[in-house]
Structure 1
Amino acid sequence: MRWKILLVLGAILFGACTHKNVASSLSGDDLIILKGARLIDGLGAPARDNVNIILRHDRILAIQDAMEPVPEKAKVLELQGKTIIPALMSSHVHLGMTNGVEAGSRQVTEENDLRQLYKFSKYGVAGVLSLGTDLDFIYKIRENSQRVDSTLPLVLTAGRGFGVPGGAPPATMGIDQVYRPKNAAEAKKQVAELASKKPNVIKIWVDDFDHSMKKKMEPEIYRAIIQEAHAHKIPVAAHVYYLADAKLLAQEGVDIFAHSVRDQAVDMELISLMKLHNTAYIPTLALDDAFFVYAEKPSWMRESFFQGALDPGVEQWLQKSYKPKSSSRDDLKMAQQNAMALFKSGIVIGLGTDSGANQMRIQGFAEHRELQLLVEAGFTPLEAIRIGTVNNANIMGIAKDYAGIAPNMKANLLVLDADPSEDITNTQKIHSVIINGKLIERR
C-alpha cells in the first residue's frame, strides 16, 4: 500500500486563502474565528504568527492574516499569544484493556472504551487506531465517531488481531479475543471472516516476547494473512521486535511495522524492502520508555498533566507493583536510532504508543511523551509534530480529511499556551482542544 504524503504549499494556505472577501462575505452565524494565534500546520512549514483560522461546523473554512476583517456575528476566540497545532493522532493504541489497576480482555466493554476515548479527547488526541484487541461493538463506536457532531476521537480499528496458539500475544496478558490460526488455510478463512466487518487494518503478532514464548507465527501463516488481507484491500500491521522477522515480513509486503526493530540496527536490506513495498514504521518509543522510566521518579510524574491521565489506583500501583525492565533502556536507544535511520532513508514514520495495553502505558499522556522521545532521538519538534499528525493521517488512510491545518480539513485543533517548535514539552501546555469544530471540556 502506498502512503501518499500530502504536500500543501504555504502559498496555497496564505495566498489563495487570504483574500479579504473569503470570510467577510459570509454569514457569521455559523462561523468560529480563532483569532491572532501562531500557527503550526503540521505540514512542515515554519510557524506563522498572527493568523485567523475560520471554522464552519466540523471543517476549517479558511486561514487568513489576523488583520483581515471578520464576518459580523461570528464567534471570535481571541488567541493572541497562543499556538495552534493539529490535534494529535495515535496509530497504535489498545482500547478498553485497562480499568484502574486491572488489565486484560475482561476490561474490554463499550463503557470502558468510551471512557478512554474521552480521555484521549481531553489530551488533544483526535484520532486513534486500535490494534487487534477489540470486540465487535468497536464497529458501532467507530461509526459514531465519524458523525459530524461527535466529540470523540475518530476511531479506526483492526478488530480482532492474529496471534499464535500457545504464543503471542501472551495469554497471561489476558488477551484472548484474537484469532490464533493453526495453518494457512485456517488463517485465510479467518481473514475473510474479519474482512466482512470492514476493519481498517489487520494486526498480526510476530514476536516471542523476549524469548518467553516457545514459538512465533510461522512465515506461511503470516504470508497467508497478508495475501488474503490484500485481496480484500486491507493493510496489515505487524508487531515486531527482531530485524530478521522484519525482513521476512517486508518481503511478504506487510504495510506497517507497528513497533520498532530493537534487537539490532536496521540495515540497507530492510530499508530497500520497505521502500519497495511502501512499508510505514511506527516506533512506539513510549512503550520501551514505560518499562523503566517510572523507577527514576522523573519530575513530570508529580505534574498535573501526568497525574490527570492516571486511572484510580495507578499511581499507587506504580509505586508498589511496578517492576522496571532493565533491558528496555537499551531497547529504547536502539529504537530511537532505528527510527532516525529509517526517517533519513525516506521511510514514513508514524506516532503510536501502545497506550492502554497495560497499566504503565498511560493513554493521552503517552502520546505527548512519544513526541518528546522522538525529539530526543534527533527529530526536530516540527518533524515530530508532523509525524504525530499528518504522517499518521496518511498511514491511517484518512489524509483526505485529516492532513494538517488547511482549508476543508477537519477542525481538529490543539490550542497551546506556548510554542512546541521551541520546546516540544509545550504540547502539554494545553489551553483548549477542538474536535469536529467543538470545544472539548477538559475537566
Structure 2
Amino acid sequence: MAIDTTLNPSAQQAQHLMPNWQVHMTDKIMQYYIDRGLTVDPVILKSPPPPQEGHQYLLYMHVPFCHTLCTYCTFHRFLFKEYKAREYFKNLRAEMQMAKDLGYDFQSVYVGGGTTTILQDELIQTLELARKLFPHIREISCETDPKEIASPLFKNLQGLVDRMSIGVQSFDDSILKLTDRTKFGTGAEVYDRIAACQDLFPTCNVDMMFGFRGQSLDMIARDMELIRQLNPKQVTTYPLMVTSETRKSVKGMIAAEGQELSEQYNTILGTLGQHYRQLTSWTFGRTGDNEGIDEYVIDHDEYLGIGSGAFSFLGDSLYVNTFSLARYGQRIQSGQMGTERRREFTKHQILQYRLMLSIFAGRLSRKYFREVQGVNLDTALLKEMLGLRLAGAIRQDPTDPDKLTVTTVGKFLGLVMMKAFYSGMDNVRAQLRAPLKACDM
C-alpha cells in the first residue's frame, strides 16, 4: 500500500466547540430523560400492531452472530455456531413472512448485527425473499467487518445490497490493538481490502471511530486522509459510546470526554469535512444524493424490527423482540413474532425525540413538526428551543421562515445527544441480556 499521509494543517488548529461543563451538562440532561423514558415492560403479544394506512415503514433485520466478540461492543450478539445460525436465518425468514401477512410493505431494509454476512448464502436467500415479498424495496443496507470482505463469496452480494457499511474503526494499528480489532487485519491490510471491494455496491460506507483517550489529533487526521485517498461514497465517524454497564470497564477507561472529544470532532470537520458533504453530525457523503443514511431512524419515523433483540418503533410505542435465541425460535415456530416487550411514549417525549434527531441530522424544519407531528415547534417545545438558541446550536434561516439552521456547535451537540441516546439503548440491551442463561444462547 503506497499512501500519502501528509496531515492537513487544520488538524493542529482544533478548537473547542463546547466547554467541558456544557458537554457534561448535556450528558446529565440526556441521562435524566433516558432514565425516565428508556425502559421496556414485558408484554404478551402474538405480533406487533398492523401497519396504519398511509404510513411508511422501514424493515430492520438483526443477525446476532460473530466469530469473536469485541470488548467495546454492546450490541446483541452471540458466538457463531453454524447450526444455530442456519436455524436462526430460517426463523428470520418466517418472521418476515409474518410481517407481510400483517400487511406491512417496505421501501427500505436495514440489516444489522452482529456480523450480518457471517453466512453469506443464508443472507442472500433472506434478501432475495425480502425483495420478492416487498417488491417496492428501493434500498437494502447491510453491515460487515473487514475480514468478511476478503471472502471470495462476498462478491455474491453485489446486486442485492445497495449500501454496504464496513466497520473499520481506524487504520492506526495502535487503536486496532487497543480495541482488540487486530483480528481483522492491520490497518494497511484493511485499507487494501476496501480499495478492492468498494465498487461492488452503489454505496460503500466506511465506519470510523473516534473518542478514544490518547487518540491524538494527528492520528485522527491521518485516518481521515487515508479515507480521502480511498474515496468511498460515504463515511461515518462514530464517537466511542460508554454505557452505565461499561463505565468502569476497560471501555470506560479508554473513552475521551468533554473538550478532548470536541477537539477530535473538530479535527474531523477540518479534514474530512473539506472533501465530503456532511449528512448528519457523524456521517459524510461524497455527493449527498441517494446514498442512504447510516442512522435509519432519521428518515423513518416508524420501523419494524425482526430477529432476536430487534427493536421496532410503531405509532407511539417501542417494541423489543426477545433476546433469547431459544425463546425466539419457539415463538416463531408457534406462529408468533418475536415481540415480548413494549414501552409507550407520551406525545411530548416523541416530539423531544424527533427534535434530537433533527438536530443530529442538521435539518430542523417547522414544516415537518406542523404537518407530520401536528404541532407548532416553537410552542410545543418552548423550553427545548430556548435552550438550543442559548447554546448557539440553531439560528433562523433568513431565506425560509420554516427552516432553522443547525450550526457547527449544534452538530456537535447533536452528536453528544445521540451518543447519550445510543448509550441508553445499549443499557436496555445489556439489561435484557443479563438474565440469559446457556440454554438461551
Task: State the TM bucket, normalised to the shorter chain.
Answer: 0.3 to 0.5
Task: Provide the TM-score with structure 1 as the length reference.
Answer: 0.37
Provide the TM-score with structure 2 as the length reference: 0.37
By percentage of residues, which structure has more helix? 2
